[in-house]
Amino acid sequence: MKDAELIPVTIKTVTRNGLGNISLQLIAQQGHLLPTYSPGAHIDVFIPDIGPRQYSLCTEIDSVEYYEICVKLSEISSGGSHFIHHHLKAGDSLNISAPRNHFHLPAATRYLLFAGGIGITPLLAMAEKISAQDIDFELHYYVSNGQGTAFMNRLSAPTLAKHVFLHYSDANDSLRQKTPDCLLNAEPEAKVIACGPEGFIERLQDLLHKHQWQAAQLSFERFTPAPVNNLADEKAFYIQLNSTGQRYLVSPNQTIAEVLLSAKVDIMLSCEQGICGSCITDVIDGIPDHRDCVLSQEEKEENTQITLCCSRSKSPVLVLDL
């Protein structure tokens, strides 16, 4: 991420938001503006001495004065959530990226939204937009217990309350223990939107397949990259820059991004896990081996884009629009 593309912000408020979560409202510093965005977008938050971490924007639909993020304190934190919870306070300054959205709300006449834990953050903004458009929807929100429920003030608002279904795993109402009625009969015109941990997404996919929903009806966002099973079979390949024709060898234990950075090629890079989309680059020729969780299945089948941080190549040479 280039410094010129960073947006300096000030933390307006820090508030508790359910068990183990805090919400931060971020306002632009003088001389800067917060770009508009659509529900499903996220930003990079640059943590001092740690680096960028990605958080979905969950600002109320009618607010244009601030960005809001909600951060869960992770038990296996790599430092980002721990720093935010224990060191940041109102008045502190941070740098953030402009919003990116690879989790757009598709067009539909009915929506079924499924949030696992902190996965509520992008779906809450989507639900408020859907409600404002007067489109039929259900929001199913899964948490471990009632004390952990974030955003209760917004979920209980008149515009959302009748559409919200809370599921508590300590009451034997997890997605593994009970199938919601709305999934029992496939609805061809409906779209299913989900965000949550890997196991939550996998369980939802299994239920949709079992009840004859089409795979294309589901859009989802993971917290972490999906596991890759063929690491032992990695092969070397070449990447070629379309602008110069220069080729670079990517060995089995290197990523495309590592090779390009070593060659001082200017690329965008943030999460390095294939979940944020900052390094997506156009492919001119060759067949990518997609390893990311950002591009949709349709986009992957087109083979016109690749995430440089984690994906590889099925062809001996991959020509990139660089």
Q: Is the pLDDT of residue 76 over 80?
A: no
The answer to whether position 103 is within a domain reads no
SS3 of residue 153 by DSSP: helix
Asked whether residue 102 is assigned to any structural domain, the reply reads no
Question: What three-state secondary structure class fits 14?
Answer: strand
Domain C-terminal end among 96, 125, 158? 96
Question: In percent, how much of the chain has pLDDT > 70?
Answer: 93
Model confidence at 95: pLDDT above 80: yes
247 φ, ψ to 5°?
Answer: -110, 145
pLDDT at residue number 158: 94
Give the end of a domain, one of 222, 245, 260: 222
Look at residue 101 and tell me if it is in a domain.
no
What is the model's pLDDT at position 1?
47
Q: Is residue 279 part of a domain?
A: yes
pLDDT at 250: 93
Q: What is the mean pLDDT of the chain?
A: 89
- State whether 59 and 118 are in the same domain: no
> Which residues are within 8 A (CB) of 293 and not within 5 positions of it... i.e. 6 or more apart?
221, 222, 225, 226, 274, 275
The C-alpha atoms of residue 143 and residue 39 are separated, in whole angstroms, by 22
- What integer is the mean pLDDT of 206-223? 91
Residue 33 has which token pair? 């503006």
Domain of residue 158 covers 110-222
Lowest mean pLDDT among 28-32, 132-136, 143-147: 143-147
- Verify that 151 and 206 share a domain, yes or no: yes
Q: How many domains does the chain have?
A: 3
pLDDT of residue 163: 97
Sheet holding 218-222, edge to edge: 164-168, 136-143, 110-116, 190-196, 218-222
235 in any annotated domain: yes
Question: Residue 3: pLDDT above 70?
Answer: no
Q: CB pairs under 8 A, 24+ apart, for 161-166?
A: 163/127, 163/131, 163/137, 163/138, 163/139, 164/127, 164/139, 165/138, 165/139, 165/140, 165/141, 166/141
Which CATH number characterizes residue 156's domain?
A: 3.40.50.80
Supply the pLDDT for residue 68. 97
Boundary of a domain, candidates 96, 130, 152: 96
CATH of the domain at 67: 2.40.30.10
pLDDT per position as a tens digit, 10-68: 999 999 998 889 999 999 999 899 999 999 999 999 998 888 888 999 998 767 789 99
Same domain, 263 and 162: no
Residue 229 has pLDDT above 80, yes or no: no
211 in any annotated domain: yes
